[in-house]
Amino acid sequence: MEQDPERIVRLLTGRASRRRFLTGIAAGLTLPTAGISVPTIANVTKNQGEAIVARQSDEAVSTGFLTVLGARLYYEVSGSGPVLLLIHGAPADAHAFAPIVSLLEEHYTVVRYDTRGISRSHLDSPAEDIPFTVHADDARRILAKFGDERAAVLGSSGGAVIGLALTECYPEQVSTLVAHEPPLVQLLPEEDARRTAVQEIDDTYRREGVGPAMEKFIVLAGGQSEPEPPSQVTPEMQAAMARFHQNLDTLFALYLLPITTYIPDVAAMQAGPSRVVVGVGEASAGELAHDTALALAQRLGTKAVTFPGGHGGYTSHPGEFIQKLHEVLRTS
C-alpha cells in the first residue's frame, strides 16, 4: 500500500486536535541508544513459591526475542517482584510505557513487548489479519517465559483487547487484568454509527491508503482529552513519530478490524479465576474507547475504575496513573 509521506507528516503534526490525539502515544516512545549492548535476562525464579521474580543483571533493562509461530517477538523486562505484563495498543510499541516503567520497577518485574508485526516484532511472512486468538497465544508465551505463576496484566487501548483475549483463552495465567479503555465497537448500541465506522476506515485504507484512513480514524477516536503538546518538536519526538509512522500500515492492514470487532466471552470471564477490572480515563468521557469500556463493565456487572488523564493517561499523568494502578492491584 503506497503512502504519501508529506500527508502523513501533516496529519501527525498538524491541527491542534490531531496533535492532542497523538501526544500521549508519542510521549511514551523512545528509541534505544545506539552502541549500548543490553544483556539478556540473567534468570527467573519464584519468590517463596508465590510470585515470579526476575533476577536482573547489572543493566536496568534486559531485552530479547521470543520465536513464536509466524513471528519473532521483541520483549523488555526490568524491576523485581511479581510479574506485571504491559500490553500496548497499535500503532505504538512497548516504549509507549516508558513514562511509567521506572515507577513500577520497585514493586514489579515489568514485562512489555512489541505485539506481532509492530516495530521490532517482525512477521515471518505477510498476513491478511491477526486473529485475537493469535494475540492471546503470543501474550501467553511471553508470560510463560517468566514462569508459570499467574501474573497481573495492564492493557491499554488495543492492548486491553489483547489482554481480554488472553484472559478469555488462558485464564490460568492471569490474576488481575486491568483493561484500560478497550475499543470494542460491537459492544455499543446497535443504533450507534460508530459500530460500522471501523469498516468504513478499513475500506478507505484499502482503497485510498494510510492518509485518508488516518483522517477518519482520528475523527472516530476523538482524542480531545490529551493536553496540548510542547511547541518545540524535539529529536526524541521526531524519532517517536518515525516509529509511529512505521507502524501505520500494520495498524490498518492487520489490527483495526480484528481488534475493534472482538466480542469478549463475558460469561467465561465471569466464571473464570481471573479478575477483570475495566479502566476509563477521567478526561476521555464521550470518546469511543471510553464509551466501549463502560459498555464492557456493564456487561461484566462491574463498575469501571476511573484513571487520571484521558485515553493515554499513563503518559500524560504517569504518577497519578500508577498510584491508581497500585490501588487496583492491591485490592485483588
User: 169-180, pLDDT tens digit by residue?
Assistant: 999 999 999 999
pLDDT digits (tens, 9 = 90+) for 121-156: 999 999 988 999 999 999 999 999 998 899 999 999
pLDDT digits (tens, 9 = 90+) for 264-318: 999 999 999 999 999 999 999 999 999 999 999 999 999 999 999 999 999 999 9
**How high is the pLDDT of residue 60?**
85
Question: Is pLDDT at 183 greater than 80 in this prediction?
Answer: yes
**How high is the pLDDT of residue 231?**
58
Summarize the confidence of residues 219-236 as an average pLDDT.
65
Q: Is the pTM of this model over 0.85?
A: no
Cell triple for 263: 466480542
Nearest CA among 64, 63, 74 for reference residue 122: 74
Residue bearing the bigger pLDDT, 108 or 26: 108
Give CA–CA dist 84/193, Å, rounded.
36
**151, amino acid identity:** A
Question: Is pLDDT at 182 greater than 50 in this prediction?
Answer: yes
**How high is the pLDDT of residue 128?**
87
User: What domains does the chain contain, in order, with CATH numbers?
Assistant: 5-29+55-330 (3.40.50.1820)
Question: Is pLDDT at 261 greater than 70 in this prediction?
Answer: yes
**How high is the pLDDT of residue 31?**
30
Q: β-strand 109-113 against 71-79: which pairing, if any?
A: antiparallel
Q: How confident is the model at residue 20 (pLDDT cuts 50, 70, 90)?
A: very low
Lowest mean pLDDT among 33-37, 180-184, 212-216, 284-288: 33-37
Q: How confident is the model at residue 12 (pLDDT cuts 50, 70, 90)?
A: very low
